Amino acid sequence: MAEVVGGYDFEFIEDLPEDLTCILCHYALKNPVQIEVCGHTFCEDCFNQSKDHAATNSTDFCCPLDRQLIDITRVFSNKADERKILNLKVKCRYFVDKCDWIGELRDAAEHETKCLKNKSIREKTFQIDMIQLLNQMTEIECKLQINEKKVKANEQKLVEKDQQIENQCKIADEQNKAIKDLKEEMNNQSKLLNEKNKQIIDQNRQMKDLKVQVENQNKKIINLQLYQSVMIIPDIENGSHFTAVNTAFQWKFNPQEVRASYVRHNILLSPPFYNAMNSFCLQLGVNFADNNYRIYLFRYRGKYDADIDMITTQSFDFNIKIFGKKGKQKEFYSSKNDDDFSIIPRFRERNDGLCVPINNGEIASLTVDGFVHLHFFFT
């Protein structure tokens, strides 16, 4: 019969006084401790369990009876109640097995070590334990026999696995030899490729030099064409809007890029062009400022300028047209009788050229495939 944690679990000869009973475990007080402030007494183990519970839950440690806060430094052992309890008469805890011992509680533990009933119970318990042990040994022996059979079966499987591994090793050796031969072949091919690459590099270098020569020749041809002929570029829609004969120059720009990279007075410029043989050298430009796109026409010093002062005072007729998906969208016109459209030399600031504004809200209707296409006509 195991002793409970907390108070004494005995059959008392007389009724146990209430003041000697633990309010927590409801047994006789064991190693009683008393709270000095309120005077309540508890078993030492019960008191410590209550204290540990409060610490674990991070709550205040209070008296279980009146809920007053407990000062641990003012809790002491109640030796008086302990003597009273140990003096009480109790029966042997094996009285149900016909042990008729009665004595003071303080002597109960010593009696139990000598109690014949207790010894008899221990002997029975020992016999039961021995029987259980024999059963366990028998069960273990059966398991050992089963495991021994499994070990033998596994040994046979291991022998078979070893044979498989040996066969796999032979195959691996053959594959390694084949790989080695393949690597040698790849090395030979690599040497051949390196030689081919060197030849290709030499040929690319020669082609690059030749390309540079061709580009230089093309530049010379283009420059010669700029100075000696009218630049004729096809229209972006159809011939019903204008004819290629009257088109001197076509140029396109992306309005979003012009606006995104806008710097005041920074102008995106077209390639230079001539309006006719032996005549003016011109250039178009565009920038964005004050919520407007501005299209400029600039005068270059050209190859055929006989007298720069005389040329800058001359005027001529021209049109700048913008074609959209529905045909002509906008047109800018200049007449030789309009002094505001006189061509200004490009030797001064960029904003001194001919300037035509386009409102930002209007630019969307003038854009085709993301670009605004300018067509320059001489009339």
- Per residue in 103-157, pLDDT tens? 898 888 888 887 766 665 666 666 677 888 888 888 898 888 898 888 888 888 8
Q: Provide the CATH number for the domain around residue 57.
A: 3.30.40.10
CA distance 50 to 64: 8
pLDDT at residue 312, rounded to an integer: 45
pTM of model > 0.75: no
Whether 151 is in a domain gets the answer yes
Token pair for 304: 């055929």
Our count of domains for the chain comes to 3
Whether 233 is in a domain gets the answer no
User: Domain end: 79, 114, 149, which one?
Assistant: 114
Element (H, E) at 125: helix 116-228
Q: In degrees rounded to 5, what are phi and psi of residue 201? A: -60, -45
Residues 274 and 335 in one domain: yes
Q: Which residues contact 108 (CB under 8 A, 6 or more apart)?
A: 10, 90, 92, 93
Q: Provide the CATH number for the domain around residue 299.
A: 2.60.210.10
Identify which of 283, 245, 246 has the alpha carbon closest to the alpha carbon of residue 377: 246
The more confidently predicted of residues 12 and 289 is 12
Domain range for 52 is 18-114
Residues 369 and 259 in one domain: yes
Whether 127 is in a domain gets the answer no
Least confident of 37-46, 49-58, 304-313: 304-313
Tens digits of per-residue pLDDT, 287-309? 888 888 888 887 766 665 554 44
